[in-house]
Structure 1
């Protein structure tokens, strides 16, 4: 045992303090050092109006009018106000109010009073049901059965809008404008949004903005030094011209060149003066 201890102690190990005292310096930068923050975009469900293309919700119905089954009743016309109120839409279930809305939205696009099967009427009816279901989904977002029905209706309406767009584009545009819809066809190519690719694009944009910012700063610095440079240029041209005249050699600097530089200096000073007055 003592022999083993002697052998181990014979090795000269470096002290631990020397290892810990050395600090590692990194010469590269992390993405966290840059002022770049990426937040994953919120996923919008396909049943929301932003995806379905409905630009307006279900319109408000006048609840003082009678129910549809009692509209042609002569007895109700001569009845008391309390009876009329009881037979109005105010005390009717929601499905009857929605049915009135469906009939109103279909009346806008009917070809004739008896039209009940044209493609415009079908799309208008589906649009009314979709908007009614979207209003209910805001109140009951966990109703899976209603969500499935709503998605199927939106897909069916898109299919018929695609058909109408192909065969009658004028009617397609008129129907979208009348019903206040936006047709959103599926994309030709699907592309996943990933964190890595988004950070690469944001980094490139950050570098381009930083480069442009430094170029603008350098341009402003040069523009600030431009009057001093022009004044020095005028003095240098005048000195060269005078020295050439005294030495009796060919004069290479003309009065036109000096006058041109003076005009540049005057225009620059006037421009700075107007900018200062405006500010």
Structure 2
């Protein structure tokens, strides 16, 4: 019997300890709120996308009927047959020949002089052309990791040189980003993670502020509707107090000017109300 009692008492202690542990360990800080607030995590934009890099336009379409860049100064090709010209055009050339033409065209826009080969503007223009060509390839081959790494490195290098140009020659920097159709996005001074908890707190504060403003507006409208009756009652009360003070022979504290002022307020409210109803 004693053994059985000991076993039963031990079982009761274990069950009680489990209950207390469950009640203690039950968390209440992660329950869903009853408020109708839905938070959707913002979509992460990849670093190579034009929205993140600052490119407002992509690689422009090149006229395929033009000759390749290395044959443009050829006199033999200028006097050759149309079939030969077509064979040496960009239409039958690989893609890199078209990108070379695009790079040369974008470089001609920012050259300081015909023999400029090393200015900062020219380097940034060349990198911009390569970046836009790589972005077009990334749209076609999004799983190419090597291309993605090269593209990110080029974007970071261009941002670094744009930062230096902005610091040392701001007018030239403004002209360059206008010519290349770029948006310079400097890095933030302080990085801040977007978290669900903080976003829900902000949304809850906004929701509560909206309820507060809505109820205050409803209370204000209710007071405005009750204002004419209140002013009429005030006029009657002031007239009654004035009459009683005169009959009792005491000092009159309510003047006719105060009563007239309240009547003017009542008249203005009624006129405003009639204008609103007419409109």
1:60 Cα deviation (Å)?
2.2
Q: Distance in 1 between matches of 2:73 and 2:30?
A: 80
1:82 Cα deviation (Å)?
4.1
Query: Structure 1 residues 234 and 80, CA, compared in 2 at 3 Å: closer, same or farther?
Result: farther
Q: Deviations over 1:206-256 (max 9, x none)?
A: 222222221122112112211221122122222222333334433222221
Q: Distance in 1 between matches of 2:278 and 2:151?
A: 62
- 1:88 alignment partner in structure 2: 89
Q: Distance in 1 between matches of 2:89 and 2:272?
A: 74
Equivalent residues in 2 for 1:1-279 (5 A)?
31-278=32-279
Query: Structure 1 residues 250 and 199, CA, compared in 2 at 3 Å: closer, same or farther?
Result: same
RMSD: 2.4
Q: TM-score normalized by structure 2? A: 0.82
Query: Structure 1 residues 188 and 73, CA, compared in 2 at 3 Å: closer, same or farther?
Result: same
Moved more, 56-65 or 143-152: 56-65
Query: Structure 1 residues 100 and 214, CA, compared in 2 at 3 Å: closer, same or farther?
Result: same
Q: Deviations over 1:97-128 (max 9, x none)?
A: 11111111111110001111100000000011
- 1:25 alignment partner in structure 2: none
1:141 Cα deviation (Å)?
0.8
1:32 counterpart SS class:
coil
Q: Distance in 1 between matches of 2:140 and 2:160?
A: 28
- Number of aligned positions between the proteins: 254
Q: Deviations over 1:123-180 (max 9, x none)?
A: 0000111111111111211111110110010011111112212222221222122212
Q: Distance in 2 between matches of 1:250 and 1:29?
A: 68
1:33 counterpart SS class:
coil
The runs of 5 or more residues in structure 2 that have no matched partner are 9-28
Q: Distance in 2 between matches of 1:110 and 1:134?
A: 24
Q: Distance in 2 between matches of 1:31 and 1:243?
A: 64
Query: Structure 1 residues 270 and 62, CA, compared in 2 at 3 Å: closer, same or farther?
Result: farther
1:37 Cα deviation (Å)?
1.0
1:185 counterpart SS class:
coil
1:46 Cα deviation (Å)?
0.9
Q: Distance in 1 between matches of 2:95 and 2:45?
A: 28
